C-alpha cells in the first residue's frame, strides 16, 4: 500500500517496451490501447516482479516475430513467380535446389502480320502459353522470350522482311543464341531445357541445336535439351480440324494472320488484335502480308487451340522427363 501511495514514474525504457508489447498485441482500437497502456504505466516502478514480467513479455514481443520468420521455409519467403527474370539469383538457386530443374525457353519473333495484328504477336503469345504450361507441369520455370529470330534475307528483303517492322537475324546467330542460353541453364543446374517456338520457320533450327548440345554433353550428362515441336505442330493439325468442324474454310483459317492466327492471339493478348478495324476496313490479301481472313476470329475459338497446345506440351514434356530420368 505504501508503494502504491507513492508510485515512482515508469522509466522511459519501460514505456518503450510497453509500447512494443501493445503494438505486437495489435489492440483493435485506440480506447482499448489507452486503457491497457495506463494500467501498465501505473505499475509501481519499484515492483520488481511486475517490471520483470513486463520486460520479459516485451522481449518476447520483439523476438517471437523474428523467430517465426527464421522458422519459415525458404520457399514461402521466396517470390512465387515462375518467370526467371522476376526472381533474384538466390531465389532461383533455392528453387533449383528444391527440384525446379525444368526450364522452358519460349521463342517468339518480331514479324509483320498485316494491318490488324501487332508485330510482337509471337512474343506475347508464347510468353503467356509457356507460363501456362509451366504452371501445369510444376517445378518448371520460364526463361525470357527469345524475340530476335531468322525471318529471311534483309537486303534485298525476302518473306516478312518485305514489310515494315520485321526483324531478321542470320540462322547461325539464332542457333548460337539458343546454344548459349541452354548451356547457361545447364551450368546453373537445370536438367531439362526445353525450346518452345511459336513461329514455323525456325522449328528445325531448334532441333539442330538440341541434337548438337546433347551430342556434345554426352549420354550420361545430367542435362538434356528438347525441341518441343508439338507445341507448334498442333496448331497446324488438330486445331485446324477443330475450326473446320465449326464450318470455317481453309481460305478463312489461313496460313498467316488469318482466322486461326488471330483467334490464338485474341485468347492470349487481345490488345494486339485490331478487332474494330477488322470489322470495318477492307480485307487485306497476300500483297498486304496476310493469308487468310480474320473477320470471324474470336478468343473462344483461340482457346480451343491454346488448350490443345497446353495439353499436348504438358503430356509430351512429362514423357520426355520420364524417359530422361529413368
Ligand atoms: Zn511467324
Report pLDDT for 51: 60
Tell how far the Cα of 127 is from the centroid of ligand 1, in angstroms: 15
Instruction: Give CA separation, 289 vs 113, 298, 309, in Å.
Output: 6, 21, 25
Distance from C-alpha of 108 to C-alpha of 125, rounded to nearest angstrom: 8
Q: How far is the CA of 247 from the centre of ligand 1 (A)?
A: 25
Band (pLDDT 50/70/90 cuts) for residue 47 is low
Please tell me the distance between residue 281's alpha carbon and the centre of ligand 1 in angstroms.
23
What is the whole-number distance in angstroms between the Cα of residue 261 and the centre of ligand 1?
A: 9
Per-residue pLDDT tens digits for 227-260: 999 999 999 999 999 999 999 999 999 999 999 9
What is the 70 CA–ligand 1 centroid distance (Å)?
49
When comparing pLDDT for 240 and 41, which is higher? 240
Do residues 197 and 107 lie in contact, with contact meaning Cβ atoms separated by under 8 Å? yes
Cα of 112 from ligand 1 centre, angstroms: 8
For residues 18 and 57, state if they share a domain. yes
pLDDT in tens, 11-40: 555 555 455 444 544 443 344 444 445 555
Residues 6+ apart with CB under 8 A from 123: 108, 109, 110, 145, 147, 198
86-120, pLDDT tens digit by residue?
Answer: 999 999 999 999 999 999 999 999 999 999 999 99
- Give 15 Cα–ligand 1 centroid separation in angstroms: 69
Instruction: Name the residue range of residue 151's domain.
Output: 78-324
Q: Are 256 and 113 in contact (CB under 8 A)?
A: yes
Ligand 1: centre distance to CA 200 (Å): 6
Q: Given pLDDT bands bounded at 50, 70 and 90, which one contains residue 59?
A: low
For residue 134, the CA-to-ligand 1 centroid distance in Å is: 23
| Residues 98 and 217 grouped into a single domain | yes
Q: Domain count of the chain? A: 2
Beginning with the edge strand found earlier in the chain, give each strand of the sheet holding 192-197 in spatial order. Answer: 140-142, 102-107, 192-197, 224-227
187 and 63 part of one domain: no
Select from 71, 88, 115 the last residue of a domain: 71
**Does 134 share its domain with 255?**
yes
The secondary structure of 149-164 as a DSSP string is: ---S-TTTT-GGGGST
pLDDT at position 38:
53
**Separation of 93 CA from ligand 1 center, angstroms?**
34
How many Å lie between the centroid of ligand 1 and the Cα of residue 312? 20
Q: In angstroms, what is the span from residue 233 Cα to ligand 1's centroid?
A: 13
Is the CB of residue 195 less than 8 Å from the CB of residue 209?
yes
Whether residues 183 and 156 share a domain: the answer is yes
CA of 240 to the centre of ligand 1 (A): 16
Given 41, 71, 101, which residue is the final one in a domain? 71
Per-residue pLDDT tens for 144-168? 999 999 999 999 999 999 999 999 9
Domain boundary among 71, 99, 127: 71
Asked if the model's pLDDT at residue 184 lies above 70, the reply is yes
pLDDT at 1: 43
Q: Ligand 1 centroid vs 91 CA: distance in angstroms?
A: 34
- Alpha-carbon distance of 83 to 24, in angstroms, equals 35
Same domain, 59 and 88: no
Query: Which residues are CB-contacts of 295 (< 8 A; sequence separation ≥ 6)?
Result: 252, 259, 278, 279, 283
Task: Count the Cβ atoms, other than its own, within 10 Å of residue 7.
Answer: 14
Region 31-53: mean pLDDT is 54
- pLDDT at position 73, please? 47
Q: For residue 131, what is the enclosing H or E element? A: helix 121-137
- Same domain, yes or no, for 52 and 133? no
Q: How far apart are CA 296 and CA 282, in angstroms?
A: 14
**Which pLDDT value is given to residue 120?**
98
Q: Tens digits of per-residue pLDDT, 270-322?
A: 999 999 999 999 999 999 999 999 999 999 999 999 999 999 999 999 999 99
pLDDT on residue 79? 79
pLDDT at 53: 57
* pLDDT recorded at residue 325: 86
pLDDT at 43: 54
For residue 49, the model assigns a pLDDT of 67
Same-domain status, 312 and 174: yes
Same domain (yes/no): 291, 174: yes
Do 237 and 172 lie in a common domain? yes
Environment class of 159 (CB within 10 Å of its CB; exposed 0-12, middle 13-18, buried 19+): middle
For the cut 50, the answer to whether the pLDDT of residue 75 exceeds it is no
Q: What's the pLDDT score for residue 146?
A: 98
| pTM score of the predicted model | 0.77
Average pLDDT value for the chain: 86
Q: Are residues 103 and 60 in the same domain?
A: no
Whether the predicted pLDDT of 132 surpasses 90: yes
State in Å: Cα 202 to ligand 1 middle.
9
Distance 107 CA to ligand 1 centre (A): 11
pLDDT digits (tens, 9 = 90+) for 186-215: 999 999 999 999 999 999 999 999 999 999
Residues 191 and 259 occupy one common structural domain: yes
Q: Are 106 and 198 in contact (CB under 8 A)?
A: yes
Q: The CATH number of the domain where 142 resides is what?
A: 3.40.50.10310
Amino acid at each position: 500500500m505504501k508503494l502504491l501511495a507513492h508510485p515512482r514514474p515508469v522509466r522511459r525504457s519501460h514505456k518503450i517496451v510497453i509500447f512494443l508489447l501493445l503494438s505486437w498485441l495489435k489492440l483493435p482500437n485506440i480506447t482499448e490501447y489507452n486503457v491497457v497502456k495506463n494500467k501498465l504505466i501505473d505499475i509501481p516502478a519499484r515492483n520488481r516482479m511486475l517490471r520483470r514480467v513486463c520486460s520479459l513479455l516485451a522481449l518476447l514481443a520483439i523476438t517471437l516475430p523474428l523467430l517465426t520468420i527464421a522458422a519459415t521455409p525458404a520457399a514461402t519467403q521466396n517470390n512465387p513467380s515462375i518467370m526467371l527474370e522476376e526472381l533474384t539469383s538466390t531465389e532461383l538457386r533455392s528453387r533449383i535446389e528444391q527440384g525446379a530443374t525444368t526450364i522452358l525457353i519460349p521463342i517468339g519473333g518480331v514479324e509483320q502480320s498485316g494491318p490488324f495484328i501487332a508485330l510482337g504477336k509471337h512474343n506475347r503469345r508464347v510468353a503467356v502459353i509457356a507460363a501456362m504450361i509451366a504452371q501445369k507441369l510444376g517445378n518448371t520455370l520460364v526463361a525470357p522470350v527469345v524475340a530476335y529470330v531468322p525471318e529471311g534475307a534483309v537486303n534485298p528483303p525476302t518473306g516478312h522482311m518485305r514489310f515494315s517492322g520485321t526483324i531478321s537475324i542470320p540462322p547461325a546467330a539464332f542457333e548460337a543464341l539458343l546454344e548459349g542460353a541452354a548451356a547457361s541453364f545447364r551450368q546453373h543446374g537445370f536438367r531439362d531445357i526445353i525450346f518452345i517456338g511459336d513461329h514455323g520457320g525456325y522449328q528445325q533450327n531448334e532441333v539442330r541445336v538440341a541434337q548438337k548440345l546433347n551430342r556434345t554433353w554426352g549420354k550420361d550428362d545430367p542435362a538434356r535439351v528438347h525441341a518441343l515441336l508439338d507445341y507448334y505442330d498442333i496448331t497446324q493439325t488438330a486445331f485446324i480440324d477443330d475450326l473446320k468442324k465449326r464450318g470455317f474454310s481453309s481460305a478463312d483459317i489461313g496460313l498467316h494472320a488469318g482466322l486461326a492466327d488471330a483467334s490464338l492471339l485474341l485468347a492470349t493478348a487481345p490488345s494486339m488484335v485490331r478487332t474494330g478495324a477488322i470489322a470495318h476496313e477492307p480485307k487485306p490479301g497476300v500483297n498486304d502480308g496476310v493469308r487468310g481472313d480474320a473477320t470471324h476470329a474470336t478468343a473462344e475459338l483461340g482457346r480451343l487451340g491454346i488448350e490443345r497446345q497446353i495439353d499436348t506440351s504438358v503430356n509430351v514434356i512429362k514423357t520426355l522427363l520420364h524417359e530422361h530420368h529413368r
